[in-house]
Amino acid sequence: MATVSSSQLVSVGDYLAGELVSQTKHEFLGGVIYAMAGGRNVHNLISTNITGSLHANLRGKPCQPYNSDTKIRIHLSTHVRFYYPDVSVISDPNSPDDSFQDQPALVVEVLSRSTRRTDEGEKKDAYLTIPSLKVYLLVKQEAPVVTVYRRDEQGGFVREVYEGMETVLSLPEIETELPLTEIYEGVKFSPEPDVELR
């Protein structure tokens, strides 16, 4: 990653104001902004399936799912980040006037060739610092496989892997479950192309 001088850094206020009018979404890492690429159809289908399933299953419960237009703010020790996860579930929402959320209970990223390293690396490490976060899901596109990072009683995270269309992912942390048949409904599995899209 290239070094950026302090004079080139964007303030949080300017970033948030810019996102309200921008036609392109950007992630914010300590004053540096990065444009987000568009997603392949299968990526968008999986994200929509998860959002729809959570919306139906959480109706009347204290948690609310949000789609990929919702930013999550993360306070790290040295800087602030804003990411747009593919899906998030919020139990203690910010003001309706805000354009971001601070306290996700669950975050979902749908993996792809171009984002896998970041989603499994720096994004995961950042998300797991959020005190409210209980579950982080990494969902494969090319096979019915979901990796779960679940907070344990000691405050750390335990990694679990769920495979196969017959599998049901239990999420007692938000009082629901996610069958993999619902996550992957309508998906025709095939290897990802070499083109780097989400």
* CATH code assigned at 157: 3.90.1570.10
Residue 118 has pLDDT above 80, yes or no: yes
Q: Give the 3-state secondary structure of residue 13.
A: helix
Q: Which of 147, 184, 142, 187 is nearest to 163 (CA)?
A: 147
Residue 137 lies in a domain: yes
Residue 197 has pLDDT above 60, yes or no: no
CA angle 27, 59, 68 (to 5 degrees): 15
The predicted model gives 73-83 an average pLDDT of 96
Residue 29 lies in a domain: no
- Mean predicted lDDT score pLDDT of the chain: 92
The predicted model gives 23-44 an average pLDDT of 92
The predicted model gives 42-52 an average pLDDT of 97
Residue 179 lies in a domain: yes
- Model confidence at 4, pLDDT cuts 50, 70, 90, reads very low
Residue 176 lies in a domain: yes
Instruction: Output the pLDDT for position 198.
Output: 52
Residue 118 lies in a domain: yes
- Model confidence at 169, pLDDT cuts 50, 70, 90, reads very high
- Model confidence at 101, pLDDT cuts 50, 70, 90, reads very high
The predicted model gives 83-112 an average pLDDT of 96
Residue 7 lies in a domain: no
Q: Is the dihedral of CA 176, 61, 50, 96 positive or negative?
A: negative
Instruction: Output the pLDDT for position 67.
Output: 96
Domain count of the chain? Answer: 1
Q: Which of 194, 90, 85 is nearest to 142 (CA)?
A: 194
Is-contact 140 146, C-beta < 8 A?
yes
Query: Which string of DSSP letters, residue by residue, matches 32-62?
Result: EEEEPPP--HHHHHHHHHHHHHHHHHTTTSS
Domain that holds residue 116: 38-70+85-183
Residue 1 has pLDDT above 50, yes or no: no
- Model confidence at 120, pLDDT cuts 50, 70, 90, reads confident
User: Regarding beta strands 64-66 and 87-90, do their DSSP bridges make them parallel or antiparallel, or are they unpaired?
Assistant: antiparallel
Backbone angles phi, psi at 87, to 5 degrees: -145, 145
Residue 5 lies in a domain: no
The predicted model gives 16-22 an average pLDDT of 96
Residue 54 lies in a domain: yes
